[in-house]
Structure 1
Amino acid sequence: MNILFIHQNFPGQFKHLAPALARAGHNCVALTLRVKEPTTWQGVKVIPYKISRGSGQQVHPWLVDFETKVVRAEACFAVARELRDHGFTPDLIVAHPGWGESMFLRDVWPTARIGLYCELYHRSAWPHMHFDPEFDKGDPDAATLRIRMKNLNNLVHLPLCDMGISPTRFQADTFPPAFRERISVIHDGIHTDQVVPNAEARLELPDGSVVTRDDEVITFVNRNLEPYRGYHVFMRALPRLLKERPGARVLIVGGDEVSYGASPPKGQTWKQIFIDEVRGQISTADWARVHFLGRIPYDRFISLLQVSRVHVYLTYPFVLSWSLFEAMSAGAAIVASDTGPLHEAIEPGKTGTLVDFFDKEKLVEEVCALLDDADRRAAYGAAARAFVRANYDLETICLPRQMAWIDKLAACTAGETGD
């Protein structure tokens, strides 16, 4: 079959599926902004599309997000027509619609079956909105209307969708019932044979020191350090945590940008804002035990998880991070937020501990309790790894299910569920 992948940052969530389909003999092509010139990646022909216009200056603020998606969709449409005119006709289009690119592809190839990666439908009710009042700005009613407008892209795409795929039940269940029935819940997959416990693991820190399994290491990982992933809560827990654990090293991974939610005040970063908030409560000696590692190569990231005695994961009711499952696969003892996404990953008292997202005191207590209980840490880590291997292993669980999803998509009739 001819299979066309669409992802602004290809391969993104298709990094396992696309090469597997290419290896199976399918002609796989991808459209993306990530490359400047055509190339080949693991058997997939990767073709760039280029943005030819900027956003308008007089667009209503609630429409700015949708306009950027239409701009990308127009650019992708232009390249798609060129492909069509040069003889390429996909049997399947597999797209992440989050940036709008696939919006007009049914118009180019009416008979292609379209499968969408359904990451999130924006809900305007609590807890999806107004979960963290500290960062609610302006008129809450207007904020509700604005978030509904963010679904314009979803609402344009969903009628085009023959089938959907979503990595977790929490994410799939955000979609309206009329579309939810088309969505299969299949995670992207974790390399559990690569992300393994390692008693000999070691990690060199920027100051030249080295931590191993013999050290009391507490880890916290975000793509970017921001409130959506509980960075502010973790930082506010640090003064007490460092006092309670005078031998602990705290390793924090994450960038200075914004992945989700509101941007910090102009010229500032969330990282520095909360460092400034807590720094005066922490002695110089204790602060020397806090290590901000930024973004690190994947092999170092795995070593970090392997030396972790307790891994803290916090999130708003939102998309669940791969890093949580990777930490579980590495056998880390998890303390996580008691929010919706975690309920399908952490069974309290078995695969980890859940605490109220906002309760920094309880967070410290649970981390300390685990640090003091080696047997419970070992039991949590073993159960967490077993759970991930049984439910999220790439080779034995997720990739076979993704491939079966592709077969089912190929067998359906294009457009029978939509416009």
Structure 2
Amino acid sequence: MNILFIHQNFPGQFKHLAPALAARGDQVVVLTPKVKEPAKWRGINVLPYAVKGGSTPGIHPWLVDFETKILRGTACYDAALALKERGFTPDIIVAHHGWGESLFLKDVWPTARLGLYCELYHRSGGSDTNFDPEFPSHTPAYDALRLRLKNLNNRLHEEVMDAGLSPTQFQAGTFPEHYRDRITVCHDGIDTDVVTENPGARLDIAGGPTLTPDSEVITFINRNLEPYRGYHIFMRALPELLRRRPNAQVVILGGSDTSYGAKPKNGKTWKQTFFDEVSPQIAEKDWVRVHYLGRVPYETFLSVLQVSSVHVYLTYPFVLSWSLLEAMSTKCAIVASDTAPVHEVVLNGETGVLVDFFDASAIAEATCGLLDAPERRDMLGNNARRFVRDRFDLKRVCLPRQLGWVDDLLERRPVRQPMD
């Protein structure tokens, strides 16, 4: 089979699926703006394309996002035409359509089956929008209108989508009903053979202590430290945690950019904003037990989880982080926000402890309670790993399902462009 992958930051969510298809003998080609020159990666031909142009000055702000997607879509379309002229015709196209790249690919190859990674459909209620009263929308009366336009990319793709793949029930459930019969729920997968406990793990903190599984360690991880992932709430729990646990070391991973939501207005980063907020409540002698490691190599990330006594995970009703499942796979005892995406994996009292997202005191109380109860931590950690192994294991569960999804795509009668 000829398979074309589209992803603006390849491999992204396809880092296991694309190589597995190449390994079984399919011809796999990738179009991505991430590379500047053609490259070979794990048996895959990775080809570049360049996005030209930028947002039109003075354009209506609701159209900026869609204009960017059109620019990506037309750039990818041009690259696809060039690929077609060189004789490549995909049987299947697999795309993360979130950036608009795959908007026009059915115009190039009308009979190709298009499989989309359906990450999120934007909603004005029951999701991330206006979930946090601390950061309300500036124009709530227009939220539904603005988000309807933001979903133009989703809506246009729905017209040509042969099948979809969504990592969680929550994410699939954000899409309208008429999408869902074409969406298969299957996670990208956790390699539980690699992501596992390690009694001999060591985490060397530069200028600080060396931590092991015998240390008392509280961990908190975001891609970027920001409100969408509850950084502000965790920081408000930190003074109480440090007061009540004089021997605890707190390890925080995450960058200083903004992945989701708005940037702070004060010119600072979110990381600095909430550091400054809680600093007056924390003595200097206690700050030395708080370790900001920024972004770290994956091996270090695993070591952080493997020495963790309690891992705190907080999120808006939004895309579920891989890091939560990875923490569960290493047998971390989890304290997590009682929000919809978390409910699929953290069963309160069984695979972790759920707390109100906004209740910093409850987060501190739950964390301290687990630190005082090693047998309960072990029970929760064992259950959490078993849960992930049973439902999210890469090699035994998720990758076989993904490969089956690709094979099923080939059997579908291709959806045509609406005007065909």
TM-score above 0.5: yes
How far did 1:200 drift?
1.1
Report the counterpart of residue 101 of structure 1 in structure 2.
101
Report the counterpart of residue 312 of structure 2 in structure 1.
312
User: CA separation in 2, counterparts of 1:10 and 1:415?
Assistant: 25
User: CA separation in 2, counterparts of 1:127 and 1:222?
Assistant: 19
Encode CA deviations 1:299-334: one digit per residue, 9 max, x unaligned. Answer: 010011000000000000000000000000000000
Report the counterpart of residue 405 of structure 2 in structure 1.
405
Report the counterpart of residue 379 of structure 1 in structure 2.
379
User: CA separation in 2, counterparts of 1:280 and 1:148?
Assistant: 43
Report the counterpart of residue 80 of structure 1 in structure 2.
80
8 Å Cα contact 1:30/1:44 also seen in 2: yes
8 Å Cα contact 1:201/1:306 also seen in 2: yes
8 Å Cα contact 1:220/1:253 also seen in 2: yes
| Pair 1:148 & 2:148 matched | yes
Report the counterpart of residue 192 of structure 2 in structure 1.
192
User: CA separation in 2, counterparts of 1:254 and 1:418?
Assistant: 44
| Pair 1:226 & 2:226 matched | yes
Alignment of 1:204-223 (within 5 A): 204-223=204-223
Unaligned runs of 5+ in 1: none
Question: Do the aligned partners of residues 273 and 374 (structure 1) sit closer, same or farther apart at CA in structure 2, a change above 3 Å counting?
Answer: same
User: CA separation in 2, counterparts of 1:137 and 1:279?
Assistant: 28
Encode CA deviations 1:242-297: one digit per residue, 9 max, x unaligned. Answer: 10111100000000111111111263100000000000110000111100000000
Report the counterpart of residue 47 of structure 1 in structure 2.
47
Question: Do the aligned partners of residues 4 and 127 (structure 1) sit closer, same or farther apart at CA in structure 2, a change above 3 Å counting?
Answer: closer
Segment of structure 1 superposing worse, 21-30 or 118-127: 118-127
| Pair 1:168 & 2:168 matched | yes
SS at match of 2:281: coil
How far did 1:143 drift?
2.8
TM-score by length of 2: 0.98
How far did 1:214 drift?
1.5
Report the counterpart of residue 91 of structure 2 in structure 1.
91
8 Å Cα contact 1:222/1:229 also seen in 2: yes
User: CA separation in 2, counterparts of 1:137 and 1:73?
Assistant: 29
Report the counterpart of residue 22 of structure 1 in structure 2.
22
SS at match of 2:398: helix
Percent sequence identity over aligned pairs: 60
Report the counterpart of residue 237 of structure 1 in structure 2.
237
Report the counterpart of residue 303 of structure 1 in structure 2.
303
8 Å Cα contact 1:161/1:418 also seen in 2: no
How far did 1:418 drift?
6.1
Report the counterpart of residue 348 of structure 2 in structure 1.
348
User: CA separation in 2, counterparts of 1:418 and 1:247?
Assistant: 64
How far did 1:148 drift?
2.2
TM-score by length of 1: 0.98
Encode CA deviations 1:199-246: one digit per residue, 9 max, x unaligned. Answer: 111101122421011110000000000000000000011111110111
8 Å Cα contact 1:16/1:399 also seen in 2: yes
User: CA separation in 2, counterparts of 1:418 and 1:24?
Assistant: 34
**Structure 1 counterpart of 2:255, which letter?**
G
Question: Do the aligned partners of residues 270 and 133 (structure 1) sit closer, same or farther apart at CA in structure 2, a change above 3 Å counting?
Answer: same
**Structure 2 counterpart of 1:243, which letter?**
R
SS at match of 2:116: strand
User: CA separation in 2, counterparts of 1:332 and 1:204?
Assistant: 19
User: CA separation in 2, counterparts of 1:143 and 1:287?
Assistant: 40
8 Å Cα contact 1:129/1:144 also seen in 2: no
Report the counterpart of residue 157 of structure 2 in structure 1.
157
**Structure 2 counterpart of 1:328, which letter?**
M
8 Å Cα contact 2:9/2:34 also seen in 1: yes
8 Å Cα contact 1:166/1:172 also seen in 2: yes
User: CA separation in 1, counterparts of 2:295 and 2:81?
Assistant: 38
| Pair 1:253 & 2:253 matched | yes
User: CA separation in 2, counterparts of 1:139 and 1:187?
Assistant: 35
How far did 1:410 drift?
0.8
SS at match of 1:133: coil
Encode CA deviations 1:151-193: one digit per residue, 9 max, x unaligned. Answer: 0110111111000000000000000000011000000000100
Question: Do the aligned partners of residues 417 and 408 (structure 1) sit closer, same or farther apart at CA in structure 2, a change above 3 Å counting?
Answer: farther
Q: CA RMSD in A?
A: 1.1
**Structure 1 counterpart of 2:85, which letter?**
D
SS at match of 1:103: coil
**Structure 1 counterpart of 2:20, which letter?**
A
SS at match of 1:116: strand
Encode CA deviations 1:61-81: one digit per residue, 9 max, x unaligned. Answer: 001011101000010000100
SS at match of 1:285: helix
Unaligned runs of 5+ in 2: none
Segment of structure 1 superposing worse, 295-304 or 204-213: 204-213
8 Å Cα contact 1:161/1:417 also seen in 2: no
